[in-house]
Amino acid sequence: MLLLAALPAGTLAAASGENPFHLKPGAKGASCLTCHEAFRDTLALPFVHTPVKSGECSRCHDPHASAHGKLLSADENAICFQCHGGIVPAGARSIHTVVVEGNCVKCHDPHGAKNKNNLIQAGNAVCFGCHKEIAEAVAANSFKHNPVEKGCVTCHDPHAGAKSDFLLKKSQPMLCLDCHKSGQPAFQRQHMNYPVAKAQCTSCHDPHGSKNRGILWSSVHSPVVNKMCSQCHLESSSPNALKTRKAGFDLCRGCHSDTVSEMFAKNRLHWPVADQRSCLNCHNPHASKQKALLAQPEKQLCGSCHSDTLVRQAKSLTKHPPADEGNCEACHSPHASDNGFLLVNAKTIELCGTCHDWQKHSTHPIGEKIIDKRNKNLALDCTSCHRAHGSEFKYFATYDPKAELCTQCHEEYRR
């Protein structure tokens, strides 16, 4: 007790954790500035991080030694959360990838910046640094969406969407209805008096702007262009106005009878065509950014069901360009075919030969008369040795080309 009483007061304060590095009173940031003189410019910026402003460099940095880069006292992808732990609400529906990664410095300067919230760039520029595709589209749009011009954070929370996808502050249509009053006569006229306030606005509209009037997506279904909503939906005065007149492909058959009839006349139907959602499994019935009103880019769309194939493609040592680029239709018919795997050609050799001049690249006999030694019911074709969506071996061989591939048949050469 007597010993403790003899110690200076500052020492006791250190013991409590407020001054873990036992800095002399009044030292703090000033002592860092004696070497890091250029930092004075940072302190002069309009927006300075609070611990920096109060000279508490040791809130983030260990002045002596550290196991982390830049003498940070914790991992750079975790240190911000020590104070800003609540930045992502518990159970958030969507979280910005950079936040998940703890890569806060991608957007924020940890010391100071010219922009509010210590953002490294002002306004939308900080978002467009990563979201280049959106930036280009926004710049090229003929019809702008006002909230985008005001700033991305008008609609999006840059860290997480508590209850909404895409970091939205609210789900649609509530978010949209904050500005667009669905009860206004002009709104109702434009939507043919249909109760769209209950629908998904982005089914027709590109929220970032568009080259089309009404900021409709680039590819628009004809009935929508012609404002003939009642061609598919019940009359606008009906209690269930948004309900379609018929279900599934029966509705689409009304205009696309040739396509639907052709599909159903084939031996093999792509089964999603025949289920309850039918055409809507792949197509957006109103408008889309993709050709043919596909709901997503082809690779993502097909991959949403055939995820195992996509995973194999991604892991494949050699990439097969049509598969890798998401040009599934190069080989497969998306609706129906008379051929296995919905291939557009019954003969594999001919199909592969569309791109590959195999007669020059391969001297191994293939064709209907060349029987596969492994299976008397099979003839050799490209898929006898290659797996079109990829494999762990070079040239997506089915077995290791250096060893097992050839000796699958030529067993006499097996070591």
Partner 1 sequence: MRSRVAARLLSGLILAACVTASTLAADIVKLRPVAALYSDGKGSALRKPEGVACDGKGGLVVADTGNARLVRFTLAAETAASAGEIVTAGGGEIVLGQLPYPIRVQVSSGGEIFALDGKLRKIARLSPSGEFKGYVDLLAAGVQSTAIPRSFKLAPDGTLYVLDIYGARVLVLGTDGKLLRQIAFPEKRVFFSDLAVGADGTVFLLDSVGKRVYTAARDSAAATPLPDSLKEDLGFPTAMTADERGRLFVVDENGGGIVILGQDGSYRGRQSGLGWKEGFLRYPGQLCLDGKGTLFVADRENNRIQVFMTGR
Residues found near partner 1 in the complex (CB under 8 A): 247-248, 250, 265-269, 271-272, 274-276, 278, 304-309, 340, 372, 374-378, 384, 398, 408
Whether the Cβ atoms of residue 191 and residue 197 lie closer than 8 Å to each other: no
Closest to partner 1 by CB, 240 or 375 = 375
311 Cβ contact partners less than 8 Å away, ≥ 6 residues apart: none
Closest to partner 1 by CB, 324 or 372 = 372
Closest to partner 1 by CB, 181 or 373 = 373
The 3 state secondary structure assigned to 82-133 is: HCCHHHCCCCCCEECHHHHCCCHHHCECCCEECCHHHECCCCCHHHHCCCHH
Give the shortest CB-375-to-partner 1 separation in angstroms: 5
Percent of the chain that is helix, strand, coil (3-state, to 5): 40, 10, 50
Closest to partner 1 by CB, 246 or 291 = 246
Give the shortest CB-139-to-partner 1 separation in angstroms: 38
Burial 24-49 (b: 16+ CB within 10 A, else e): eeeebbebbeeeeeebeeeeebeebb
Closest to partner 1 by CB, 100 or 311 = 311
Give the shortest CB-340-to-partner 1 separation in angstroms: 6
Give the shortest CB-267-to-partner 1 separation in angstroms: 5
Closest to partner 1 by CB, 256 or 268 = 268
Give the shortest CB-310-to-partner 1 separation in angstroms: 11
- Phi and psi (nearest 5°) for 202? -75, 0
Whether the Cβ atoms of residue 135 and residue 123 lie closer than 8 Å to each other: no
**Residue in 256, 291, 290 with CA at minimum distance from that of residue 273:** 256
Give the shortest CB-303-to-partner 1 separation in angstroms: 11
